[in-house]
Amino acid sequence: MLLKNKVAIITGAASERGIGRATAMCFASQGARVVILDLDEAAAQKAASQLGEGHLGLAANVTDPDAVQRAVTHVINTFGRIDVLVNNAGITQPVKTLEISVSDYNRILDVNLKGTLLMSQAVIPVMQKQGGGSVICLSSVSAQRGGGIFGGPHYSAAKAGVLGLTKAMAREFGPDQIRFNALTPGLIHTDITGGLMQDARRHAIIDAIPLGRLGRAEDVAHAALFLASDLSAYLTGITLDVNGGMLIH
């Protein structure tokens, strides 16, 4: 039980076949009390109930500082502590540079980057009082390779921002024993990506992956488990690739 008695918040985890839900299931199986945050309160509560007893589903818009703070306060009032935060909530948009409107830019940056900042700001004081914690931020291989799959340039920019923010927070809050690490998934088969790939493109992408398959949500969840647990106690500020070799530095 790598997360026994730990309390973990996972944002954007209500979707049945998403990375967040897979991470929630993985954490619960390792003894964590999981809090699922999502825009859809009913979906969040249903997802939490499916994990078993002792878990919590809450509605929260990660771009709204008041909603974020209310959710974090609810978690503290319920469980008394927060040991792990997984900044998973994110959205994408497959457009080209000249097609990006200001509203598109703001929407993509707000959820992916500002949401990561606001959630982190809300849990940091809690973790400081506890003497430590682990924050895992979901970036993307798109940030490293300059897009080229599904997300537009603004998505790549947002996810690159997540990497910079993660490293900066790792440096700032290391003395408080709060670890900040980032995951950069490659092409993971989820509800979002599944509807965007036709067979010809799917096979072309797989041919470029040394391990010869698309990633599964569980692959990312297991990496998150490592970063959440004490197995990674001396790791902070790292970027952990989960891409099957799609991008080898």
Return the SS3 of 249: coil
178-185/133-138 β-pairing = parallel
Q: How far is CA 128 from CA 75, 87, 176, 177, in A?
A: 16, 18, 6, 8
Classify burial at 163, counting beta carbons within 10 Å of its beta carbon; exposed 0-12, middle 13-18, buried 19 or more. middle
Would you state the structure tokens that stand for residue 223, as one six-digit string? 């990496």
Would you state the structure tokens that stand for residue 9, as one six-digit string? 């918040």
Residue 195: count of CB within 10 angstroms of its CB: 8
d(CA 114, CA 64): 9
| C-alpha torsion sign, points 221, 189, 184, 240 | positive
d(CA 213, CA 208): 9
Catalytic residue (one of 155, 166, 185, 219): 155
CA atoms within 13 A on the CB side of 227: 29
d(CA 174, CA 132): 9
Whether 105 is catalytic: no
- What residue has token string 């509203």? 103
Residues serving a catalytic function are 155
